[in-house]
Chains A and B, each alone.
Chain A
Amino acid sequence: MRRVVITGFGIVSPIGTGVEAFFDALGQGCNGIAPISHFDASGLEVRYAGEVKEALSFAHEHEQALAERDPKVGFALTAAAEALSMAGVKAFSPDDCIHIGTSLETFFFKEFSVESPSECPEAFFRHLVTHPWRLPLDAALRAIQTRYGRGGQAVTNCSACAVGLQTIGQAFHAVRGGRCSLALAGGFDSMINPLGVGGFQLLGAPALGNPVPGKAFCRPFDASRSGLVLGEGAGFVVLEEREKALSLGKTLYAEVCGYGATLDAHGLSAPDPDGDGAARAMLAALCDAKLLPQAVDHINAHGTGTQLNDPVEAAAIRRVFADTWQKVPVTAVKSMLAFDRRCWIHRGHHLHLHPTARNHPSEYRPRHGGGWVRTDARQA
């Protein structure tokens, strides 16, 4: 069976854009969560988010216009460009595939106006036809194809929270199975707009108001966690067949060994309290990689910081890593970056464990019995 390696990766995040800046900030435990500045959120109960602060620039006018219209398309283009450049890819061939993913369409309401409120919704729809108000979720895919060529398989996955990892997993299987020779995979997202933030506020999942002095705003696995914090950015990898990459003299940053995906079929707004779906996904990935749980040195958790997710995830970890959970470090990058649907990777050649910001494992462990949540950075 073919082995699959990562030969490039690219990142846009609230703590840094570009691989070097991102890892430096991650190792230092930088905090990317701050008051929302993209729009006036003072009227909302959700007022903090993990925003990308850097202004991204694009060589082509149409890319700049797309990024201004929908920032997540700009994040995707930037992260994809970094990943492809690192892998030495200038253009896609028909044997290459593109698997990317995101979650929610962005709807643009700001320009809307009517002579009389009673004209809604007819006037609304008339207005929208001549004032494009939405970009389909495949806008980023098309922008990447416009710049690098169409390639072969081109997929926009919309599996929400799992989407970043799912694109990598499915691309990994495609490369391993010989269905393509190279894949660009990853996720991108931004929900920091009035409708995105307002919609999440209605669902009751985000942390509200302002941070408590001395405490991080997003506190995954913390006994006093108060909810998720919305974030934005993009993370992409280039996957290639190992022998071919070696023959081309490419640098191998990591190897993808296994992938598993499940549904818990429990409900729409809460996970299975036993963590069954998450546990089966981890077991499926281990099985796919032909590895035992004892071989795992680090767990990068979903760690949303919500009341519902964290104990369920901890239960799933304990179930899969029954003999080793007390020794395996668990980190939750959302404590610094906030919540979106992209993917994060570690430097495969030199695993670096980032801290989980201002966490309180002593409060967490007795209650939920999960692994050791790192509060400091270290080399593994």
Chain B
Amino acid sequence: MLSAKAFSQLGWQMQNVPEVRIIGSGMVTCLGASCAATLAAVKAGSRVQGEPFPFLAGTPYSDCLAAQGQELDLCGRITDRRMRKFMSRQAELAAAAAREALEEADLPARGVAPERIGLYAGVGLAAMDIAASAKLLRASLDEEGSFSLSRFSRDGLHTIHPLWSFHTLANMPACIVSVLEGIKGDNGIYTPWEDQTAFALLEAAHALGEGSIDAAVVVASDTPSHPASMVGLASSDFIAPGEVVAPGAACLVLERTNTSTTERLFSRLSSLRLVTSPQEDARPDDPLAPVIGRTLAAAPLLLVILAPLLGLPCRLRGCGKHSFSFEAA
């Protein structure tokens, strides 16, 4: 249960927060396309394996690693083929995790109105479609191989799909989840690091406490192993040398315990704490990193689901200019 006492530190206080229970959960990790698949893989001894990014060879960031393996097929979870055209990989992961969590929570069957369901999201750096971007760039180069604005306007722009920018808008993963799942209540979308996802979780708890919604869907998604994301991350202080970054998404469905009408109960949150830290020289610490890789914005929710099942501490620490610590129990 969430307790006011747990939030008595440094700015991230929560007061008058009701008891909150998790009634649905979903995830996509590099080890599996669902909670069950990920857990089964971990129990069978699978762990994330890293491989170098070819384009980082010979740069100061050559020891950054991406999770190995084929992209998981999510067609079973995202059946709206028209909508898939709008979706970046980050949005696909978010939609798949949300579908699993909402299937488990079964809110419509229990009469929870869509207008009373809130949606809170944490998303990572936007990752554009590589093939489309490469096509755009090739058509925008002049004879010397330099980017030319006139070529971009005349030729480059016309090589890409009119909805291309939907892949780079940071709010799209949450918008797509809202449309696919018919969620119509209060909302907020935060970006781009782990602490922002933790904030989404806290904001959901506040909205439940203040009574503006009856159920909250908290979703997080990130694709740090996407080349377009990795080039942004490589020069940041977020990734430690040799660390493996991996795509991931997770979703929680929350209800106030005192008004919940379901016996379904995945888990409870007995405390949550998010604290900004002045220790900028601290190292990042994500206990899931050796198991499913660094999933950055997705990590706080994945941790809430997996930590108790794997016997790991539910504690996450960011570093550098963005240092913070997040704890849940």
Is A126 part of the contact surface with B, judged by Cβ < 8 Å? yes
Chain B interface: which size bin? Answer: 35 or more
Binds B, one of A8-16, A20-28, A192-200, A371-379: A192-200
Known interface pairs A138-B191, A159-B187, A200-B165; A95-B145 also in contact (CB < 8 Å): no
Is A58 part of the contact surface with B, judged by Cβ < 8 Å? no
Residue of A nearest to B138 (CB): A117
Please give, as numbers and ranges, the residues of chain B lying within 8 Å of A133 by CB-CB distance.
231-232
Question: Which of A132, A136, A138, A263 contacts B178 (CB under 8 A)?
Answer: A263
State whether B147 touches A112 (Cβ < 8 A).
yes
Known interface pairs A159-B188, A268-B176; A96-B11 also in contact (CB < 8 Å): yes
How many angstroms between the C-alpha atoms of A288 and B185 in the bound complex? 14
A201 to chain B, nearest CB (A): 7
Question: Which of B12, B182, B321 contacts A153 (CB under 8 A)?
Answer: B12
Residue of A nearest to B152 (CB): A194
Is B278 part of the contact surface with A, judged by Cβ < 8 Å? yes
How many angstroms between the C-alpha atoms of A104 and B150 in the bound complex? 23
How many angstroms between the C-alpha atoms of A262 and B116 in the bound complex? 10
Known interface pairs A152-B11, A263-B184; A112-B162 also in contact (CB < 8 Å): no
| Chain A contact residue count (CB 8 A cutoff) | 79
Is B309 part of the contact surface with A, judged by Cβ < 8 Å? no
Is B73 part of the contact surface with A, judged by Cβ < 8 Å? no
How many angstroms between the C-alpha atoms of A260 and B166 in the bound complex? 25
State whether B169 touches A157 (Cβ < 8 A).
no
Per-position contact with B for A203-234: 1 when CB-CB < 8 Å, else 0? 11000000000000000000000000000000
Known interface pairs A43-B150, A138-B192, A198-B157; A112-B235 also in contact (CB < 8 Å): no
Question: Which of B55, B137, B153, B196 contacts A198 (CB under 8 A)?
Answer: B153
How many angstroms between the C-alpha atoms of A40 and B126 in the bound complex? 26
Q: Max chain A CB contacts within 10 Å: which of B56, B164, B190?
A: B190
Is B234 part of the contact surface with A, judged by Cβ < 8 Å? yes
B247 to chain A, nearest CB (A): 17
Question: Which of A128, A136, A179, A262 contacts B186 (CB under 8 A)?
Answer: A262
State whether A125 touches B199 (Cβ < 8 A).
no
State whether B184 touches A265 (Cβ < 8 A).
yes
State whether A44 touches B153 (Cβ < 8 A).
yes
Please give, as numbers and ranges, the residues of chain A lying within 8 Å of B126 by CB-CB distance.
105
Residue of A nearest to B54 (CB): A122
Is B10 part of the contact surface with A, judged by Cβ < 8 Å? yes
Is A366 part of the contact surface with B, judged by Cβ < 8 Å? no
Per-position contact with A for B116-130: 1 when CB-CB < 8 Å, else 0? 000100010110101
Residue of A nearest to B16 (CB): A177
A sample of 18 inter-chain contacts (CB < 8 A) reads A104-B168, A109-B147, A113-B145, A117-B138, A120-B134, A121-B137, A126-B59, A130-B59, A138-B193, A150-B278, A155-B196, A157-B190, A158-B189, A198-B153, A202-B163, A203-B162, A262-B187, A268-B83
